[in-house]
């Protein structure tokens, strides 16, 4: 019985969060330009700006890594990543 009440509380919490998201979406859809300007001036639009800035920063990091991977692949195809030293020779590095 205790587990059933716990699960019921969890399901009610999830439903409440979902309902809150739907109401907020409806409220944002029906607001006027003046409402948007008032909310933006009050700082309610700043969280979205932080999320966008974080996403752009993450994209910059990922693009840099992608460029490095493409450059490494190109170098490897041209044979530039192999050192050509004695350590690469299997006959010289085997222990007899």
Torsion sign, CA atoms 44, 45, 46, 47: positive
pLDDT in tens, 34-79: 988 888 777 765 667 777 788 888 888 888 888 888 888 888 887 7
Per-chain mean pLDDT for the chain: 80
Where are the domains positioned within the chain?
A: 45-77
The model carries a pTM of 0.39
1-10, 20-29, 30-39, 81-90: segment of lowest average pLDDT: 81-90
Residue 55 φ/ψ, nearest 5 degrees? -65, -40
Residue with tokens 């085997």: 94
How far the first Cα of the chain sits from its last, in Å, is: 72
Residue with tokens 């716990």: 6
**Number of H helices and number of E strands within the chain?**
4, 0
């Amino acid at each position: 019985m205790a587990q059933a009440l716990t699960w019921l509380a969890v399901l009610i919490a999830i439903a409440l969060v979902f309902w809150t998201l739907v109401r907020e979406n409806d409220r944002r859809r029906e607001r006027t330009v003046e409402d948007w300007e008032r909310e933006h001036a009050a700082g309610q639009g700043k969280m979205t700006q932080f999320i966008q800035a974080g996403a752009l920063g993450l994209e910059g990091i990922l693009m840099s890594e992608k460029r490095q991977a493409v450059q490494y692949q190109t170098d490897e195809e041209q044979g530039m990543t192999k050192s050509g030293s004695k350590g690469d020779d299997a006959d010289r590095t085997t222990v007899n």
